[in-house]
Structure 1
Amino acid sequence: MIYKFRAILDAEEDIFRDVAIQEEATLEDLHNALVNAFGFDGLEVASFYTCDDTWNQEDEIPMFDTGDTPGEQKTMSDYPLNQLLDQENTKIIYVYDFINMWTFLVELAAIEEAQAGEIYPSLLFSHGELPETAPDKEFEAENDDFYSEFEDDLDDDDLDGFGDDSFEDYGFEENWN
């Protein structure tokens, strides 16, 4: 079977690509297909994130094992698409280049029979041009009054000892080395 995905750049403008890929392909294969579809150079790190039906980010699936014990963390190459996505679980988030944060909402749009003679993965449709820079992200706290607990901020008393080069209170001697 073939999975057909629509990857939409998380931006105000409509910029998306439709790709088709074998259901046995891995998330790493999908990553490579998206890199090619959007014209990236593929030199940056990326991750997929599982999400709920309203695109709330859940678990990260990285390109590389970044765990404390080698081999302990699963990576993109460990996840065949058909083990992670199906007719009920159709959404996943893709982030390319953690400096610029190119963020894509990727949705499984169809599961179909492979077309004879077609080479997969393939770019099915392209709409919109990728901007020169990634769209700005506005990160919001889950709680609207996140800062309310910090309303009192720092008092002048909280800064005693700073700015007067006085470190006696910290147990440092003037020439400690």
Structure 2
Amino acid sequence: MIYRFRVILDNDTDEDVFRDLEIRESDTLEDLHNVITQSFGFDGTEMASFYISNDQWDQGEEISLFDLSEDASARLMNETAINDVVFEMQPKLIYVYDFLSMWTFFVELAEIVDEAEGSDYPNLMFVQGQVPDVAPEKVFESEDSDVFDEFEDDLDIDDYDNLDFDENWN
């Protein structure tokens, strides 16, 4: 079977930027990573990860390009078939490319079709929008407020008398 994905760049511009891709369900997430990077014009040399997601696009389990864990326990793209993590009841993934720039994409299974005789896969079906020169800036929201503020605790780090620690701890 062939999985048809819509891969949408998470950006805050007026222009929608997405690619529609076809890939075999039995191909690996590394194959999907390669077709995504090529279709958006990246060289594919940066670190990347997929995250299993739910209907609200919450980030779940990570499946990475390389195992950087100390105990070699990370789930890897080249060992994970697409149909092991994506199916009709679980159609969404989050894809992050280049952890310094944080290019973030929403990957959604749009359709499952039969393989067309004589077609090559993976296949770039449709292109919409131009990729910006730099990754769109992310605004992180906290559960308690509309916008995350890293300085919301109002601590004055130069006011040593009122900081809650023992300066002679060692």
* Smaller-chain TM-score bracket: 0.7 to 0.9
Aligned to 1:56: 58
Q: In structure 2, what is the equivalent of residue 14 of structure 1?
A: 16
Instruction: Give the fraction of aligned pairs with identical amino acids, expressed as a percent.
Output: 47
Q: Distance in 2 between matches of 1:62 and 1:96?
A: 10
Structure 1 position 79 matched with structure 2 position 83: no
SS of residue in 2 equivalent to 1:36: helix
CA shift at 1:56, angstroms?
1.1
Contact 2:62–2:75 (8 Å) recurs in 1: no
Distance in 1 separating the partners of 2:54 and 2:65: 21
**How much is the aligned-residue C-alpha RMSD, in angstroms?**
2.2
- The yes-or-no answer on 1:36 pairing with 2:49 is no
Question: Displacement of 1:69 after TM fit?
Answer: 2.2
TM-aligned CA deviation for residue 144 of structure 1: 2.0
The equivalent of 2:99 in structure 1 is 98
| Alpha-carbon separation, structure 1, partners of 2:137 and 2:67 | 28
| Superposition deviation, residue 156 in structure 1 | 5.0
Secondary structure at 1:94 match in 2: strand
Q: Name the counterpart of 1:164.
A: none
Aligned mates of 2:55, 2:78 — CA distance in 1: 24
2: distance between equivalents of 1:46 and 1:84? 17
Q: What corresponds to 1:133 in structure 2?
A: 134
Q: Distance in 2 between matches of 1:49 and 1:80?
A: 14
The alignment's TM-score, normalised by the length of structure 1, stands at 0.83
Indicate whether 1:24 and 2:22 are aligned: no
Provide the secondary structure at the position in 1 that maps to 2:138: coil
Three-state SS of the structure 2 residue aligned to 1:92 is strand
The answer as to whether partners of 2:46 and 2:97 remain within 8 angstroms in 1 is yes
Partners of 1:99 and 1:134 in 2: CA distance:
10
Distance 1:95 1:142 in 2: 22
Separation in structure 1 between the aligned mates of residue 75 and residue 104 of structure 2, nearest angstrom = 21
The runs of 4+ residues in structure 1 deviating greater than 3 Å are 145-149
Q: Could you tell me how far 1:79 is from its partner in structure 2? A: 1.2
**How far did residue 170 of structure 1 move?**
6.8
- SS of 1:30's equivalent in the other structure is helix
State how far apart, in whole Å, the 2-side matches of 1:44 and 1:16 are: 20
Which residue number in structure 2 is paired with residue 114 of structure 1? Answer: 115
Aligned residue-pair number: 161
Structure-1 separation of matches of 2:131 and 2:160: 49
Distance in 2 (alpha carbons) for counterparts of 1:39 and 1:127: 13
How far has the Cα of 1:51 moved from its partner? 1.2
Aligned-partner residue type, residue 79 of structure 1: T
Helix, strand or coil at the partner of 1:150? coil
